[in-house]
Amino acid sequence: MQTVQAYRFALDLTPAQERALLAHAGAARVAFNWSLARVKAVLDQRSAERSYGVAEELLTPLAGWSLPALRRVWNVEKGVVAPWWREVSKEAFNTGLDALARGLQQWGDSRRGQRAGRPIGFPRFKTRHRSAPSVRFTTGAIRVEPDRKHVVLPRLGRLKLHESARKLARRVEAGTARIMSATVRRAGGRWHVAFTVTVERTDRRPAQPTATVGVDVGIRHLAVLSTGDLIANPRHLDAAQARLRALGRAMARRQGPDRRTGRAPSRRWRRASARLGRAHARVADLRRDGLHKLTTRLACTYGTVVVEDLHVAGMLRNRSLARHIADAGFAEIRRQLGYKTVWHGGRLVVADRWYPSSKTCSRCGAVKAKLPLRERTYTCTSCDLVLHRDLNAAHNLANLAANPADTAQVSTAGSGPVAGRGANQKTHPGGQEAKNRQPGTAPADQTGTVPSQDRTAA
């Protein structure tokens, strides 16, 4: 089975290498901003001409925003826009142009109703203070050195890794992996390199291929399994709140930037901001490590894993629980299980968003009309079952996968998109038309459209 996966390693750079990487990231930003300004100017000009009553055939010619179109125009104008273009790799400019092409394509698809989810706004200009420096290499010398402690990238040369790259090197040497691209990015005060690799994976089987486990995620416990295991929620953000508050107060006492007066931040403010960023990055790293260990354990052990299709964006509107929900990472658990179950020969089943897993009795199937969140123990009035609320939900999820006849409540999910989210099964105030409308789309008279003459397919 051939898959595409990423290998991410931390870098230990010299000051000269860091300056070179910042120059490449700056070049990508220049190409992005210049091309965006050009596309925006043409769209604004055409909009103004239409308001004056100019005929369509007399409007300003369109500016294509596909990657080949942006690259052709940039190659013509780069000598004027960036006379220093020979000092950096061509991949730096391609990074910015590719990001712009993707952003404009997603904006156009969202306006035409061809993209599910929240509306995508028009791309904004990038600044070195608001965007993380990043550059992507797709051509040239990209390899891991034989000592497995260094990597080679175009124009940057030999870069030292903070950790060994033996896992990637072994696959490349065995011929079961091929490096497609390498992305260097700074986050939390540290540079990382991520290799996009096509890997030929051997067929695997879980330790218990016939076993089914229901996973109910929550705040008090990160995950409650139908086997009775309770996975504790480490609450990394809560544990770091005292230090984060102290660092935030220390930064507030420094002289920060002021957009109104153009005042630049002081060096002490920059150092305090860097310390706060590293503290947040540590919390994110701890959370990521814990979630990877949990999902790998589930995918390697059970043949079928059942989770819920939670509306996390709606749950985050609860001001009392938003921080705890975001810290738990519900969506990340499902995303990782989606591809790890495929890798290990298992199956991921996603219960419908409106399936009442917590309100249903796992013994007799009776469904309660209401079950407040404060009630942590499920008590069935029909069969006198008394069980922990989350454990009862986990049992219901496991039973759902064992009943293949109930196809309306489950959908199989792998590494691709989930079929049948079920959000259109609940009665909506708008009547039958609103009920049948697919989630993430707007009614016909409210959906924004991009005229076909004002866009170029990427």
Q: Is 216 a catalytic residue?
A: yes
pLDDT tens column, 234-268:
999 999 999 999 999 999 999 999 888 989 999 99
Helix (H) or strand (E) segment spanning residue 20: helix 15-51
User: Which residue in the list 216, 309, 327, 352 is annotated as catalytic?
Assistant: 216
Q: Is the pLDDT of residue 426 over 60?
A: no
The string of DSSP letters for 435-456 reads HHSPTT---TTT-----GGG--
d(C-alpha 217, C-alpha 305), whole Å: 13
Query: At a CB cut-off of 8 Å and minimum separation 6, what does 101 contact?
Result: 65, 66, 67, 70, 458
Q: Is the pLDDT of residue 293 over 60?
A: yes
* Residue 319: predicted pLDDT: 87
pLDDT tens column, 86-104:
999 999 999 999 999 999 9
d(C-alpha 180, C-alpha 178), whole Å: 6
Q: Is the pLDDT of residue 415 over 80?
A: no
3-state SS assignment for residue 369: coil
Residue 104 in tokens: 């404009």
Q: Where are the domains of the chain?
A: 2-15+133-200, 24-129, 208-232+284-436
User: Which residue in the list 91, 98, 327, 390 is annotated as catalytic?
Assistant: 390
* Residue 389: predicted pLDDT: 87
User: Which residue in the list 91, 308, 327, 352 is annotated as catalytic?
Assistant: 308
* Residue 402: predicted pLDDT: 77
* Residue 409: predicted pLDDT: 56
Q: Is the pLDDT of residue 191 over 70?
A: yes
Least confident window among 241-255, 282-296, 302-316, 436-450: 436-450
More confident residue, 453 or 373: 373
* 202 DSSP assignment: P
Least confident window among 55-64, 271-280, 434-443: 434-443
Confidence of residue 366 (pLDDT cuts 50, 70, 90): confident
The string of DSSP letters for 73-118 reads HHHHHHHHH-TTGGGS-HHHHHHHHHHHHHHHHHHHHHHTT-S-SS
Q: Is 203 a catalytic residue?
A: no
Q: Is 308 a catalytic residue?
A: yes
Do 366 and 355 contact (CB within 8 A), yes or no? no
